[in-house]
Structure 1
Amino acid sequence: MNPLTDQELHQLAMNIVGKEMEEDGFEFLSINSKPKKDPQFVALKKGKLHFVVVRAIRYPNNPVEYDEDLMITMRDHAVKFKARTFYAGVGLANSNNYEIPVHHDEDYVVNYAGLIEIK
C-alpha cells in the first residue's frame, strides 16, 4: 500500500474544488496545479474575477484554518485586478482509519466547507 504523495493530494483537492466551481458556473481563465504556486484557479463568474487558493489538508488539521499572511498577500494582489479572493481548504482522510494516510485504491473522506472569501 502506497500513500498518496503531497502532489497527488493537492491534485485531488484541486479536482474537488474545480468540479464544484464548474458546477457553480465559474469559467476558468487559468489553472495552476503546482502546490503553493498561488492562486490555483483564476476564474470568472458573472463577469467578476476570482482568485482561489487551494490546499489539501491532512487529518487531523482543520481545513478551514488558513495561513492569514499568505491570504492577505493574495487579497492585496487580487485587489490590483479588481478580483475577489477565496481560500479552499480540502480536508482528506483515509476512510478506514483517519490516523493513517490516504492510499491509492482506498476510499477517503472529504471535509470541504466550500470557498471562503478573504475580505
Structure 2
Amino acid sequence: MNNKLQALTEQELHNLAMNIVGRQLESEGYEFMGVNSKPLKNPQFVCLKDKQLYFIVVRNVVYPNDPAIYDKGLLMKIKKQASKFEAKTYYAGVGLFNAEDQNLPVYLNEAYLVQYDGLLEI
C-alpha cells in the first residue's frame, strides 16, 4: 500500500458533494434535466419533479466554514434566472471534513465526514 496521502482536488471535492446531493435527489424522485459538474458554472442540477422545475446550486465547504452559509448575491442571481423558467431555487452546502483531523484536507481513499442538512430553498 502507498502511504503517501493524496489530498482531493477542488474538482474532486466538488464531484463528491455533487454525488451526495445527486443521490438524495434521485432517491426523492427528481428527474435530472441538466447536470453541470464545473464548480463555478451554476446551477449544478436542473431537475424536474411533479411538473415543477428546480435549479440546485451545490457547494463543497471545507473546515472551518459552515455549509449552511451561502453567497447571497450569487444565489439571488440564480433565483432571478430560475424565475424566468418558473423554477424554484435551492442551495445544497456539503461540508466535507477529514475524519481524523478536520484541519487536514480530505485524502483519497481515507475516511471523511459529511455535514449536509439537505436542500435549502432560496
Range into which the TM-score falls when normalised by the shorter chain: over 0.9
How far apart in 2 are the matches of 1:62 and 1:101?
16
Which is higher, the Rg of structure 1 or of structure 2? Answer: 2
How far apart in 1 are the matches of 2:28 and 2:79?
22
CA deviations 1:63-96 (Å, max 9, x no partner) are 0000000000000000000000000000000001
TM-score (norm 2): 0.96
- Over the matched positions of the two proteins, sequence identity in percent amounts to 53
Secondary structure of the structure 2 residue equivalent to 1:55: strand
User: Of 81, 85, 104, which aligns to 1:100?
Assistant: 104
Deviation at 1:2, TM superposition (A): 1.1
TM-score (norm 1): 0.98
Runs of 4+ in 1 over 6 A off after TM superposition: none
Partner of 1:74: 78
CA deviations 1:4-27 (Å, max 9, x no partner) are 000000000000000000001100
Partner of 2:119: 115
Partner of 1:52: 56
Secondary structure of the structure 2 residue equivalent to 1:10: helix
CA-based RMSD: 0.4
How far apart in 2 are the matches of 1:110 and 1:38?
22
Q: Say how many residue pairs are matched.
A: 118
User: Of 25, 37, 48, which aligns to 2:29?
Assistant: 25
Gaps of 5+ in 1: none
Gaps of 5+ in 2: none
